[in-house]
Chains A and B, each alone.
Chain A
Amino acid sequence: MSRRKLAVWKFASCDGCQLTLLDCEDELLSIAGAIDIAYFPEASTTEVEGPYDLSLVEGSITTPHDAERIQTIREQSTTLVTIGACATAGGIQALRNWADVREFTSIVYAEPSFISTLDTSTAISEHVDVDFELRGCPISKAQLVELINAYLNDRRPYIPAHSVCMECKARGTPCIMVRDGVPCLGPVTHAGCGAICPAYDRGCYGCFGPSESANVEALAQWWKGLGVEDLDLVRALRTFNAYAPEFKEVSDRYA
C-alpha cells in the first residue's frame, strides 16, 4: 500500500504551529518515514500535487484570496485538521473584528490602498468543514504527534477536552487562584499545554481557548471577587482565542 500524503497549509499566522512539527526532533524522521510529506513549503521545496490524505491547516482567514484558497484545499483533502488558535478561533488578529479595519490599516501602513484585507479574521470552520481541531497558541507537540499517530492507525486521537485545572492536579501544582489569589483562566481553558503557567507562578492566560462546557461567566464572578476590574477581565478574554464564542460572549458582556 502506498504511503498516505500529508500537506501543511498556512494562512494568517506566526508559523509557530507548523514549526511544532519541525520541533518534534525525536519523531520527525519517523513521521517522514510513515507518511509522505507531500506539501510543506516551510520545510521543503518539493511540491507533490494533490489530492492529499491529511491536511494540517494553520492560520485564520483574513483576505478575499485566502477565503477562496481554503475552499480549494478542502476539495483536495480527505481529512482536514486545523492546528492552533488562529485556525480554530481566528487568533490574536481577530481583535480586528471589534474594530474598523480601515483604521487599523492606516495605523500601520502609509498607503492603505495597497492593502487587500477582509474586515474580519475568522476560524477555518467558518468557511469549510473541519474534521478535527488542535487547540493552542501554539499547539502541543505531544498532541500533534498523537494526532498523526492516531490518523495513521485509523483510530480517534486521545485529546481530552477538560480544563487546565485537571492538568494542574496531575502535575501536583497547588491552585494559585486559591492559594495566592492570582487570577487564572485555567478553570475555563482547554487542556493540552500541561498547565505550564501555574507551575511558573503565573495565572493561565487561556491560549488553548475554551474547554468543553466552560462556565466563563462563573469564572468572571470569581475574578471580580479577587478585585479584577472589568477592563482587565475583557483584556484577559480577548487575546489569542478572543473570537471563540464562549470567551467572546462574556468579554462582550463586560466591555
Chain B
Amino acid sequence: MHNERAIDVDYLSRVEGEGALHVRLQGNEVMDLQFKIFEPPRFFEAMLEGRDFMEAPDITSRICGICPVAYQTSACNAMESAAGVTLPHNLRLLRRLLYCGEWVESHGLHVYLLHAPDFLGYPSGIAMAEKFPERVETGLRLKKIGNELMTLIGGREIHPINTKVGGFYRAPTKAELQSMKPDLEWGLEAAIDTVRWVSQFPFPEFEREYEFVALHSPDEYAVDQGRIVSNRGIDIAPEEWDDVFEEEHVEWSNALHARIKERGSYHLGPMARYAMNHEQLTPLAREAADQAGLGAECRNPFQSIVVRSVEIVFAFEESLRIIDEYERPDAPAIEVNPAGEVGHGASEAPRGLLYHRYEVDDSKAISKARIVPPTSQNQLSIEEDLKTYIPGRAGLEDEQLRFELEQAIRNYDPCISCATHFLDLTVERD
C-alpha cells in the first residue's frame, strides 16, 4: 500500500554498543516496531561457571567499560550476601565513594557528549565545542574529576583493579581522599550550573505512566545497596527477584527482555531513582531539582538529562560528605566464604538497576551465574515510548523522524554492550 513506510536506523549512534531500530508504519499507525540488539553475544554467564568466586568482580566488570564499578559492586554484594557478611562501615563508604566517581563519569559523558548535542542540534559533543567551547570544556572537566576519583580509589577508571569481594586490596588514607576535595568542590558548583543549563533545553511534550523501579534505602539516596521498590507497590529484597520479574528471549534481539510478571514493562534509571528516592537526595541536589521544576517525579523521558544532572550534583555532594566521614580501616577487606551458598546482589548502575545471582559450590567455584543488566530491563519501556511517541510525529519526513526516534532511545542512556546477553533503526512505511 502506498501509505506504508519503513524507517530504519541501522546503527544507533551516541550509545554504548551495537543496536538498531526497525519501524513499519501504515499512515500514523505503528504496525511493527523492533528495538534490535545485534551486539554479538559474549556468554558471560556461561564463562563464569567453574571460576573462583573471587574472580566474579573482575570478570563481570568486562561486560561494560562504561559502568564496570556497577558490575563489580553487584557481584561483591551477591558473594557477600551468600556468605552472610556485610562490609564494615568504612569499607562500605569507600565502595559508595568509588561508585559516586562512576556516576559522575558516566552521567557527565552522557549529558555533555552524547545527549546535549540532540537538544542543540549537533552530531556530537566534539562538534558542539566549536559553538560552545566553555560548556564542553566544563563537561570534560566534570567527567575527568569522576575518572580521577575512580583512579584514586580503584587504581584506574576503566576496569578498576582495587575492588575485591569483601572490600579492597588497599584502602586509601584519609589524606589521599582529601586531596580530591578542591576538585570535587569545583565539580559540585559546575554540576549545579549544569542543571540550570540543561533545564532550559527545548523538550518535546511527552509523558507516560511508568512503573518506576529502583533501589531504595530510608536513610540515603540508594546507589550501592537497598531494597527493590516501585511506585506500584513492589518492595522486595534482591533475593526475591524471581518472584516478581522474568526474562524472555525474542528473535530480533541478542538481549533478553525483562518484565514484571504481572504487568509487563518497567522503567529504570535516573527518573526511576528520582521518583522513588528524591526525599533522600542531598540538600543541594534537592535544591537544584526544585529550581529546575522537577517536582515529585519526572515522566518525560526527554527530561531525563535534567534528572541525570541532578544526580551529578548528588554524587559530588555525597563524595564530599563521605570523604569527611571516612577513617582508614585497619584491614582493607574482610574474609568472605560463600561455599555452598546462593547469593543475590543489586546496585544502581548509572543507567539503572543491575541484578546478579550466583550459586557457589563447596570448592568455592561458581556453578551458576545470572546477570540482568539495566538496558535489557529498559528495552520494553523504550519500545513502548517509541510506539506512543511515533503516531503524533508520523507526519515528519523520514530523516527527521529517524533523528527523533534515535533521540528517544538515547533518553535511556542505553548500554547495549551490557544488555547483550543486548541496537540498528529501520522505519518501514507500507
Interface on A for B, CB 8 Å cutoff? 10-20, 22-23, 25-26, 28-29, 32, 37, 40-46, 62-63, 66, 91-93, 95-96, 99, 101, 103-105, 107-111, 114-115, 117, 121, 137-138, 193, 196-197, 199-202, 205, 207, 232, 235, 239-240
* Residues from 116 to 138 in B contacting A, C-beta threshold 8 Å: 117, 123-127, 129, 133, 136-137
Q: Which 6 A-B pairs have the closest CB atoms?
A: A16-B65, A44-B124, A104-B46, A25-B144, A202-B169, A110-B249
CA distance A96 to B40 in the complex (A): 13
Report the count of interface residues on B (CB-CB < 8 A): 69
Asked whether B123 lies within 8 Å of A42 as measured between CB atoms, the reply is no
Q: Identify 8 new A-B residue pairs, CB closer than 8 A, beyond the known A23-B157, A41-B12, A197-B161.
A: A16-B65, A26-B140, A44-B14, A91-B62, A96-B43, A104-B46, A107-B45, A207-B159
> B117 contacts which chain A residues (CB < 8 A)?
45
**B332: interface (CB < 8 Å):** yes
Asked whether A28 lies within 8 Å of B140 as measured between CB atoms, the reply is yes
Q: Pick from A23, A104, A108, A110: contact of B248, CB below 8 A.
A: A110
Query: Which of B47-55, B222-230, B347-355 makes up part of the contact surface?
Result: B47-55
Contact with A along B171-197 (1 / 0, CB 8 A): 000000000000000000000000000
> A19 contacts which chain B residues (CB < 8 A)?
16, 65-66, 109, 158
What are 20 A-B contacts with C-beta separation under 8 Å?
A12-B39, A16-B159, A22-B113, A25-B140, A25-B147, A29-B129, A29-B136, A32-B129, A43-B126, A44-B123, A44-B126, A62-B40, A91-B62, A107-B46, A107-B49, A109-B256, A115-B41, A138-B65, A202-B164, A235-B55
Asked whether A108 lies within 8 Å of B46 as measured between CB atoms, the reply is yes
Asked whether B170 lies within 8 Å of A201 as measured between CB atoms, the reply is yes
> B144 contacts which chain A residues (CB < 8 A)?
25-26
A181 CB, nearest partner CB in chain B, Å: 15
**B340: interface (CB < 8 Å):** no
> A109 contacts which chain B residues (CB < 8 A)?
41, 249, 256, 421
> A114 contacts which chain B residues (CB < 8 A)?
249-251
Asked whether B49 lies within 8 Å of A92 as measured between CB atoms, the reply is no
B327 CB, nearest partner CB in chain A, Å: 19
Q: Pick from A15, A104, A115: contact of B66, CB below 8 A.
A: A15
CA distance A15 to B114 in the complex (A): 15
Asked whether A196 lies within 8 Å of B161 as measured between CB atoms, the reply is yes
> A44 contacts which chain B residues (CB < 8 A)?
13-14, 123-124, 126-127
Taking A44-B14, A138-B159, A201-B169 as contacts, is the C-beta distance between A13 and B43 under 8 angstroms?
Answer: no
Asked whether B126 lies within 8 Å of A37 as measured between CB atoms, the reply is yes
Taking A42-B15, A92-B47, A105-B43 as contacts, is the C-beta distance between A29 and B158 under 8 angstroms?
Answer: no
**B300: interface (CB < 8 Å):** no
A182 CB, nearest partner CB in chain B, Å: 10
> A41 contacts which chain B residues (CB < 8 A)?
11-14
Asked whether A14 lies within 8 Å of B64 as measured between CB atoms, the reply is yes
> B109 contacts which chain A residues (CB < 8 A)?
19, 22
**B198: interface (CB < 8 Å):** no
> B63 contacts which chain A residues (CB < 8 A)?
14
CA distance A13 to B59 in the complex (A): 13
A28 CB, nearest partner CB in chain B, Å: 7
Taking A46-B123, A115-B41 as contacts, is the C-beta distance between A92 and B158 under 8 angstroms?
Answer: no
* Residues from 36 to 88 in B contacting A, C-beta threshold 8 Å: 39-47, 49, 51-52, 55, 58-59, 62-66, 68
CA distance A11 to B17 in the complex (A): 9
Asked whether A45 lies within 8 Å of B417 as measured between CB atoms, the reply is no
CA distance A111 to B164 in the complex (A): 35
Chain B, residue nearest A117 (CB): B41
**B156: interface (CB < 8 Å):** yes
Asked whether A16 lies within 8 Å of B66 as measured between CB atoms, the reply is yes
Q: Select the residue from B17, B62, B170, B256 with max chain A CB neighbours within 10 A.
A: B62
> A99 contacts which chain B residues (CB < 8 A)?
46
Q: Pick from A15, A46, A105, A108: contact of B417, CB below 8 A.
A: A15
